[in-house]
Structure 1
Amino acid sequence: MTEPGNVELHDYDLPEVIPGSVLVKVNQSNVCGSELHIFNDQHPYIKNAVLGHEMIGQILELGEGVTIDYAGNTVKKGDSIVAPYYLTCQKCRACRNGQFHLCENAYTYWSKPPTEWPYFNGAFSTHYYIHPNQYFYKVPDNISSKVAASANCALSQVYFGIDESQLSSEETIVIQGAGGLGINATAVAKERGANVIIIDAVASRLELAKEFGADETINLNNHKTVDEREKKVKELTDNWGADVGIELTGVPDSFSEGIKLVRPGGRYVAIGTQSPGTTTAVDPGLLVRKSVRIIPLIRYNPWYLYKSLKFLEQNQHKYPFESLLDASFDLSEIQTALDKSARREVTRATINCS
Structure 2
Amino acid sequence: MNDFEKQFQQIKDYLKYEDYSVLLKRVIDLTLDTEELVFYIKTNDLLDWLDNNPENKEEKQLKFEQLLNELYAVLSQKKRVESELLISAEQIEKKYSSNRFSLGPVNLSLKKGEILGLVGENGNGKTTLLRLLAGELFATNGNLTYHFSYDDLYDLRTQLVYIPQRTQTWYGSVFTNLEFAASNYGYKPQENTLVVHLIMARLGLRKFRNFAWKDLSSGFKMRLELAHMLLRKPKILLIDEPLANLDILAQQTILEDFKAIAKSPFRPLGIVLSSQQLYEVEKTSDQVIFLKNGAQKNLHQKEINANENITSHYIYEFETPWSKDQLMALFGNSLIDLQLNGGVFIATFSEEITPDVFLKIMVNQSVPVQYYRNITNSTRRFFIA
Q: Which has the larger radius of gyration?
A: 2
Shared topology, TM-score over 0.5? no
TM-score bucket of the superposed structures, by smaller chain: under 0.3
Normalising by structure 1, what TM-score?
Answer: 0.24
User: Larger helix proportion, structure 1 or 2?
Assistant: 2
